[in-house]
Amino acid sequence: MTVKTFGVIGSGQMGNGIAQVAAASGLQVVMSDVKQEFAEKGLAAIGKNLNRLVEKEKISQADGQAILSRVKITTNLEDMAAADYVVEAATEREELKFGIFRELDRICPPHVILGTNTSSIPIGRIAAQTDRPEKVIGMHFMNPVPVMKLVEVIRGLATSDETFSITWQLCEKFGKTPAEANDFPGFIANRILMPMINEAIFCLYQSVGKKEDIDTVMKLGMNHPMGPLALADLIGLDTCLAIMETLYDGFKDSKYRPCPLLRKYVEAGWLGRKSGKGFYTY
């Protein structure tokens, strides 16, 4: 199957990043969101990113305009009927994703592959919402999408070899390096990363160290480019909590219990960079 038109559900930070790399690879892109203002904001973010690349002389102005022209925005999910491959990048809420996949299964022709950018929800559980489980797969991009090279490709129990192969090739077409993971809560990336972030939050909660010192230890002692608390703010504390809850629910192991301080911050609306305040103030 040849992918010519690529659909993206969600125009937030992850969705518009995925749309940008897809358009930069030469594909026509349809990016949808629930409100016109959200979709327009996502398109503006792509334009801003492309202008930055033009200023740095990494692409020409003509190339930047061509990439942007390949992205069309919509608030009508029915427009995904024109796509050959669709990736969902909505908020990390199980019921929201389930509803989207039920609708996509109804709207999209039978040959269309339905990918999800979920960072922790089991692929099989999402695939079960459709009548095409063999065409459902995890396509987990890293943030920020245009910069980060990794895409975690996650097979569900029913995912076909053809679906996997097409997804792998798309990742390479986007200039990314794919890595294969099987369908366990958190997959590879977040099964390793999120407990580390959660433990850093416990260190802050239990006054083992101040936030700056916790981040400094991990940056300078472990050679991480960013400390775990600053990284949590970048990811979004609500997303971190949702992933930890998925891990805890999936493994029934107390080592995956979300730190009470993380939950407290989320309940207060301190979500990190996107809200202006998390462990740090932005």
- The residues assigned a catalytic role are 119, 140, 152, 190
- Residue at 255: amino acid letter: K
Distance of CA 134 to the CA centre of its chain: 21
Closest CA to 139 of 107, 181, 110, 99: 181
For the record, the structure tokens of 51 come out as: 């202008």
| The token pair that represents 36 in the structure block | 């016109």
Judge contact between 10 and 141, C-beta under 8 A: no
- Residue 280: count of CB within 10 angstroms of its CB: 16
- CA nearest to 99, candidates 76, 73, 130: 130
Give the β-pairing of 85-88 and 113-116.
Answer: parallel
Distance of CA 142 to the CA centre of its chain: 6
Under 8 Å between Cβ of 119 and 147: no
In a 3-state reduction of DSSP, which class is residue 225?
A: coil
> SS3 for 274?
coil
Question: Quick one: which of 240, 246, 234 has its CA closest to 264?
Answer: 240
Residue type, 114: L
- Residue 16 φ/ψ, nearest 5 degrees: -70, -30
